[in-house]
Structure 1
Amino acid sequence: MLGILDIILLAASLLVTLAIGVYHGVKGRKATPAEYMLGGRAMSPLPLAMSMMVGTISPITIMGNIGEMYAYGTQLWIMDVGLALGMVVVAEMFIPIFYPMHMVSLYQYIEQRFRSKVLRLSSVLITLLAAYLFIGFLLYPPSTFLVHFTGLGIIPNIVIMGLVCGLYSAFGGVKAVVHTDVVQSMVMLVGVLAIVVQCTIRVGGLESAWSIASERGRIEFYSMSLDPYQRHSFWLTLVFGFFFSLSTYGVNQSQTQRTFSTGSVQHAKRVIYYAIFGMLLLRFLINLAGVVIFAFYADCDPLTMGGVVKSNLRIVVVYVLQDLTSIPGLAGLFVASIYAAVLSSVSTQVNSMTALLWEDFLKNLKVFETWSEVTITYLQKLLVFLTGVIGIVMSLIATNSPAFISRLFRLTGAISGPMVGLFLTGLYLPWVKGKSAGFGFLLSIVFSLWIVTGQLLTRTDPPYLPMSHTNCTTTTTTNTTTTTTTASVINTSLTTAMPDITSVSSDGEIDDNHNPQEGMAALYGLSYCLNYCWGSIACLVLAALASLLAGWNTPDTIDERLIAPTAWKIFKKLPPPSYEPPLQKLARLISPHADSYATNSSADRSPKEQDGRQSRLDGHLLQDGHDGTFHAKSEEIVPMMKIT
């Protein structure tokens, strides 16, 4: 249990969080929707970067990464390199195209690029479904951790975290979320640092801890094998980190909303680059905590004590209960960091989900046409709070079926790769039309769900690296030995109050074993690190193939500013295929009067399309209006949507 000083520190962190929300709520009580959801697009890059950093580091990241380093070694650490590379790609290739569109909902790009409202709304619905599950998944695991320290049950911990998060997010909007994230980032840094410093002192210094971990086979960075069936390698974790980064920072509303909230493209890029530095620092400390905790338990592993293998997520709980609570305040700092990780991650989700609900579904309803901006802002506040309540309900459901919820969450995570592929198709395959992109997106989701389902049905948790129990019977606590109280901590507190949620790694992936099979089932044996990659590539390939059958865009039928510059240059130089697309030909044979929009001969175009093409050739290109609407200098050449 926590001492008085620990409780004071924990309560102070929660009260500061609520105070910031109330302050911004009172200050911005007459805020417009744009100010509430995007801070008026005038927020400073540094706090936005700190918010982005902690918004993607959840309690599962902290507990999972520490457990990963402890039980399997440091190879997953290379994932951070891939994350950084992916964020650079987002800053240099995604933001210059997305930011000038002045969007609130990222998925406005989908409708604008593919001229398909159905595709936009479908992608938003899938995103919202995954986000609701994610909130429930975020609240449940740390609540099982907090049982041991707060004296409260799992359900009260869930309700407290959910309500605190919902209240300050609803009161102050994105400004409250961002500025509380700044405070929470400091709390998380200090909390994790408390473990690293205390545990390092206990094992005789950082050099000693690293040496112990190396001798026991925990230090590994350069497993350069190209075998895709192994669990981790340098290349697998690098690819995993890269595509995970594209998914999280490039095509995810919760993070792109941070870049949309600043004042220019250059400021938006700074948000990403500042976040790279903060993310690498915090993840470095989390991973290092796993190494030094292993050194502490090197000769008395509590996870395999008594022949029963326990989840590696539990190791940080064991250490904090056994050692960190001996120094007043340190356990409180770490528990506060867990709270901070929950609140920052959940607040990011509820804020972004409300933006999607309003922009993509509610905004255009007639009932809201006469509402004032201030009234709409109050409605958005209510939606934020209700989203937090729904998250609480989802988490309460998880208390009755944790394994089912974690597996369902992983299935919804199968859309992450296809979502990356859909946006990459829009940016880098300019000839692909909406129907072809939708076809590729749908089939790639089916493909990803098939692979993930097969993995869930055929995989088993991999065995931990060798553990030792040689000094478990000693009665004194030294650098690398522990007393027999370790056994009591595991066998009483954790066994009864912290049920397994399956073996979950740092970013929501279920650990898998090297288990290749024959035939089609061999796909299930591929490393989970490739799942994001396969989904993205499948969407790109299927969309490109579908365009060869169904028809394609030409340079005069698409806006250049929606395409990556390099892809546009290639697109303009390559001649279009000279044959008539098979599906278009079939449609023409069935209905002779069918419009052959995708063909390249002027005879097949309507007069309006020919005039539009000529207008473009005459130099009457589209230009931006001050209100964010795409206008034409002469006539409306290609129907374009208003971007709010």
Structure 2
Amino acid sequence: MGLGTLDVVMLVLSLLASAAVGVYYSVLGRNSTSLEYLLGGRTMKPLPLALSLMVGTVSAITIMGNAGEMYAYGTQMWLMDLGILLALVIIAKFFIPVMYPLELISLYQYVERRFKSKCLRQATAVLQLVGGYLFIGFLLFPPSLALQSMIGLSFFLNIIIIGISCTLYSTFGGVKAVVYADTLQAVVMIVGVLAIVIQGAINMGGVENVMDIAYHGDRLEFFNMSLNPYQRHSFWLCVIYGFFFTLSNNGVNQSQVQRYFSTGSVRNAQWVLYYSAIALVSLRFLINMSGLVMYAHFKDCDPMGKADPTIVLVIYVMQQLTRIPGLAGLFVAAVYAAVLSSVSTQLNSMTALLWEDFLKVLPVFRGWSEIKIGYLQKFIVFLSGVLGIVLGLAVSQLGKSFLITVLAINGALTGPLIGLFLVALFLPWVPAKGATCGFVLAIAFNVMMAAGQLTIPKPPYLPLSREGCPAPPIANVTANVTAIEDVATTIATTLAPTLADITANITTTITPSPAPPENTTGEWLFGLSYCLNPVWGTMLCILLSVVMSAITGYNTPEDVEEKLIDPKIWRIFQRSLKQQIKEFFYETILRKRAPRDQNARGASDETGTREPLNNFMEAKDIKDNEIDAKGMV
């Protein structure tokens, strides 16, 4: 059940190919400027950037996690793809036309320019840096455990190989090496996941049979239209989650925004998002299908037991794909590619933030040449990679609960950040004080929500059966377990030591995770679906920003640069807010024409409303002249 020679060869070739891309672009860009190193000189083509954007979103955790989700909970989460597509269109239509022409390197330069607050800019950058470095550690940890089971290399060696590989090509090649290595890795990921789907469908008698088995196993659920917010997933919850997940990743996250900042025009930046939408939904389709294929294969002999659903993909690959030389190697290469692409994306973006938001303004660097700055940035990438490796090793020693806590809190920060950018783009009335108060209070609420949700038990899996597993003689149950159980126990012991009891209840139909108790403390609040977490953060940030601005005072058009605001909103903003409220009250509530104040009259002079008054004055002057003439006669 281990990898064969051809599998190992394919894995090594994929790693060498990524390294070769880095070497090639390191030679070409050995004297590159800061702009060339971080943004490719803003001359890169949309298609490779789109593939890089796609693989920066789909990590190895996504591959194993989404497949496990389909296996254990069904297909409802598939609907988040609708929210993903909607958010990508909104980013392309509203975010990019405002932000791209500003020629930013750090996305959070926009925050400083819009609110005229360096502190707010640095606060958002610090949050991104802390979250980014922790995320690198997390990206390295779970896949390395899975790879340990698949290829036999130790966990620590896997982290070091992955960490050093992406650190070296990211350091020497800059963003071009990262993007073109990502393009290669995107192909490897698609082929690796496609191998599971095709081979699995063939083994199960075709895609139609896979879907039929999934249907009868209650795995096909797409249109649960319930509005109950306490469900784990529904149509509306998944669409909302996909929408805010994408706004967070592709709209307000430096690591992804830096991709479409690297192309040559607003139009090209928009095409980066459109191309990435097609690639992302296609790859997610294959990943989700792999989960259904696994369910069809294991429907009568569940290998998961009480362990995490992510292990099922590893078990399936080791049991099924190793029978055909090269297929398992393709999948392992896909996992490596997913880790490499995600980590290298983070390394490049962290360097941009450190340089632009913190180091560039220091007096010591003011006299440095562009080439010298480029070498410094390479050194920063290298140090970031080393830090990422250390964090990956450290996270492995801190336990599963720490990982869940970090992810929950990191996720809690995304909503307030989305809210801050929406305020900046669409509410020019809000000044720095109001935005800062809304941002900070929304973060505090979301962190509280994330911490509280850790106390709520997970919902039960859909029914899983072990009735079809070959049962050994009763006397030898513990000594002669099946090969599937051996693999599952090994992986479960590694991934979740407290959940390693996977061989129990061999011949019973089970629902592995317990149902949550009815009266959990704080369930009325913390029991709300995690899909809504970014919604609370976003809405609170916006609402509190507006309320605090009403107390501290609103902006006027003289306080804000026009190019930092959505054009349609700016046209509204130019008019007096007081007059707009008065007009709304009269015309909507009282149903009559609103009186105009002096400013409105002054403004209306230019539109011709003063013309009747001018005509009257001219007529009066003519009449007076006629009377004077008669008097003289």
TM range, smaller chain = 0.7 to 0.9
Q: Which residue of the partner structure matches residue 448 of structure 1?
A: 446
2:86 maps to amino acid: L
**Offset from partner CA, 1:365-386 (integer Å, 9 cap, x none):** 1111121111110110010111
* Secondary structure of the structure 1 residue equivalent to 2:464: coil
Q: Which residue of the partner structure matches residue 529 of structure 2?
A: 527
Q: Which residue of the partner structure matches residue 406 of structure 1?
A: 404
1:563 maps to amino acid: I
Cα distance between partner residues in 2 of 1:497 and 1:104: 41
2:439 maps to amino acid: F
Q: Which residue of the partner structure matches residue 52 of structure 1?
A: 53
Deviation at 1:500, TM superposition (A): 5.9
Contact 1:47 1:178 in 2 (8 A): yes
Cα distance between partner residues in 1 of 2:392 and 2:112: 33
Q: Which residue of the partner structure matches residue 626 of structure 1?
A: none
Q: How does 1:120-159 map to 2 (within 5 A)?
A: 120-159=121-160
Using the TM superposition, name which of 560-569 and 66-75 deviates more: 560-569
Deviation at 1:27, TM superposition (A): 0.6
Q: Which residue of the partner structure matches residue 554 of structure 1?
A: 556
Contact 2:307 2:496 in 1 (8 A): no
**Offset from partner CA, 1:419-447 (integer Å, 9 cap, x none):** 00000000111100011100100000001
Contact 2:492 2:499 in 1 (8 A): no
Q: How does 1:606-625 map to 2 (within 5 A)?
A: none
Using the TM superposition, name which of 512-521 and 53-62 deviates more: 512-521
Is residue 562 of structure 2 the alignment partner of residue 575 of structure 1?
no
Contact 1:229 1:516 in 2 (8 A): no
Deviation at 1:498, TM superposition (A): 3.0
Deviation at 1:234, TM superposition (A): 0.1
Q: Which residue of the partner structure matches residue 209 of structure 2?
A: 208
Contact 1:441 1:539 in 2 (8 A): yes
Cα distance between partner residues in 2 of 1:519 and 1:185: 45
Contact 2:411 2:534 in 1 (8 A): no
* Secondary structure of the structure 1 residue equivalent to 2:546: helix
Cα distance between partner residues in 2 of 1:127 and 1:502: 33
Contact 1:51 1:179 in 2 (8 A): yes
1:366 maps to amino acid: P
1:547 maps to amino acid: S
Identity within the alignment, %: 52
Q: Which residue of the partner structure matches residue 13 of structure 1?
A: 14
Q: Which residue of the partner structure matches residue 463 of structure 1?
A: 460
Q: Which residue of the partner structure matches residue 186 of structure 1?
A: 187
* Secondary structure of the structure 2 residue equivalent to 1:178: helix
CA separation of 1:464 and 1:24: change in aligned 2, threshold 3 A: same
Q: Which residue of the partner structure matches residue 418 of structure 2?
A: 420
Q: Which residue of the partner structure matches residue 536 of structure 1?
A: 538
Is residue 431 of structure 2 the alignment partner of residue 430 of structure 1?
no
Cα distance between partner residues in 1 of 2:471 and 2:307: 22
How many residue pairs get aligned? The number is: 564
CA separation of 1:601 and 1:243: change in aligned 2, threshold 3 A: farther
Cα distance between partner residues in 1 of 2:132 and 2:361: 23
Q: Which residue of the partner structure matches residue 628 of structure 2?
A: none
Using the TM superposition, name which of 295-304 and 230-239 deviates more: 295-304
Q: Which residue of the partner structure matches residue 172 of structure 1?
A: 173
Unaligned runs of 5+ in 2: 473-480, 501-512, 582-596, 607-633
Q: How does 1:40-439 map to 2 (within 5 A)?
A: 40-304=41-305, 309-403=306-400, 404-439=402-437
Cα distance between partner residues in 1 of 2:482 and 2:298: 12
Contact 1:554 1:576 in 2 (8 A): no
* Higher radius of gyration, 1 or 2: 2
1:385 maps to amino acid: F
Contact 2:412 2:447 in 1 (8 A): yes
Cα distance between partner residues in 1 of 2:66 and 2:337: 17
RMSD across aligned positions (CA): 2.3
Unaligned runs of 5+ in 1: 476-482, 504-510, 580-599, 603-613, 618-644
Deviation at 1:321, TM superposition (A): 1.1
Cα distance between partner residues in 2 of 1:499 and 1:224: 34
Q: Which residue of the partner structure matches residue 586 of structure 2?
A: none
Contact 2:308 2:492 in 1 (8 A): no
1:317 maps to amino acid: V
CA separation of 1:578 and 1:264: change in aligned 2, threshold 3 A: closer
Cα distance between partner residues in 1 of 2:422 and 2:517: 31
* Secondary structure of the structure 2 residue equivalent to 1:576: helix
Q: How does 1:12-31 map to 2 (within 5 A)?
A: 12-31=13-32
Cα distance between partner residues in 1 of 2:250 and 2:166: 22
TM-score, length of structure 1 as denominator length: 0.85
CA separation of 1:500 and 1:76: change in aligned 2, threshold 3 A: farther
CA separation of 1:365 and 1:601: change in aligned 2, threshold 3 A: farther
Cα distance between partner residues in 2 of 1:447 and 1:204: 51
